[in-house]
Amino acid sequence: MGSWKYHIKIALLAAMATLAAAFGSWFLATGGQTPAPAEPPLAAKPVLTTPVVVDAKSVPSPPAEAPVDFQKRAALEYKLKKAPEFAPFLTKLRVLYPSDYDSAVKLALAQGVETRDDAPDMFVGLAVQTLRRNRGLMGAKAGAAALDKLFDVHEKVLKQLAATDPALCVDFLNGAPADRFAAFSGAHRALMAEEALAGLQAIDDGAHKRIDREAPTSADFDELEKLMVSKGVDKAGVTLLLDGKTPNHPMTDALQCQNGLIYLDAMKALPDQERLRLYALALEVMAHE
């Protein structure tokens, strides 16, 4: 198996690791707004050919970090209380990693999250994103029970996406940002809260157990392919999911989403060590993104 194929498969695993983090990534990148058109290529921009000499004395010192606006924070906390589904996750986050909680609050207030009706969903997305960035590697070192729980919940989320919005399900499988994640999260808060909590518990479990696993082998991915085929995914579906190649005949969103569910189900059917290597790698890659 070529290395390019191996890395595509790793990327797919990471893209599928958690919807809450995907929404947090989208919100951080866009500020909750539709992204602006991309800028022209760098080659089209003016190039300075004369070195610019900067007088160090003329460079202002960076401003001190602004204190948290307690009125805005109170408004955010008030809206969070209106979503009790998220309370177990947020309470545990504040106890285990208070600095990450505070960082998420600062990010949220900087984006004006406290003014929005979907503030709880946006905040949890940012909190998961912060936690993943700061401590995601610990999740990869968690025990089998914690990793299995996380990916079981993830499968539940994907099933709900398939039933609710197949197009959004495909966006999720492809790791594509979509503002519709916010609406989905708001309509399925209990499920999203379960996923966020499972991720936090995996990180905490990994922080205590610190299990080092070998990287998945080509044989692991080959076995995964065989299982997918045995569960009904045709050659075009396997090629699309694992190699990133668009089939000659377009697939419906519903079929692509169903194939994604089979992908997860096939991973669950792998022997313990192979399965856990794939799960751990997914979390490692996601932590570095």
Q: What is the pLDDT of residue 45?
A: 29
CA distance 48 to 30: 30
Is 129 a domain residue? yes
Report the predicted TM-score, pTM, of the whole model to 2 decimal places: 0.79
Nearest Cα to Cα of residue 225 among 215, 244, 238: 238
Tell me, yes or no, whether 80 lies in a domain. Answer: yes
Please indicate, yes or no, if residue 37 is contained in any of the structural domains. Answer: no
User: Does residue 107 lie in a domain region?
Assistant: yes
Residue 62 lies in a domain: no
201: containing domain: 3-31+69-288
CA distance 2 to 266: 22
- What's the confidence (pLDDT) of residue 249? 80
Q: DSSP per residue over 213-271, as a string?
A: -PPPPHHHHHHHHHHHHHTT--HHHHIIIII-PPPSSPPPHHHHHHHHHHHHHHHHTS-
Distance CA 198, CA 218 (A): 28
- Predicted confidence at residue 179, as pLDDT, reads 66
Helix (H, G, I), strand (E, B) or coil at 106: helix
Residue type, 19: L
Which string of b and e fits 137-146 if b means at least 16 CB within 10 Å?
bbbbbbeeeb
Which one-letter DSSP state was computed for residue 44?
G
Does any domain span residue 210?
yes
Do the Cβ atoms of 90 and 80 come closer than 8 Å?
A: yes
Q: Is residue 42 part of a domain?
A: no
232 falls within a domain = yes
- Angle separating helix axes 3-15 and 166-173, nearest 10 degrees: 130
The predicted pLDDT at position 50 comes to 39
| Cβ contact 118:179 at 8 Å | no
pLDDT by residue, tens only, the chain of 289 residues: 444 445 445 555 655 555 555 555 545 555 555 444 333 333 332 333 334 344 444 445 544 455 668 899 999 999 999 999 999 999 999 999 999 999 999 999 999 999 999 999 989 989 998 998 899 999 999 999 999 999 999 899 889 999 999 998 888 877 666 667 878 888 999 999 999 999 999 999 999 999 999 999 989 989 999 999 999 999 888 888 777 777 778 889 999 899 989 988 999 999 999 999 999 988 888 787 6
CA dist., res. 18 & res. 14, Å (int): 8
Number of domains in the chain: 1
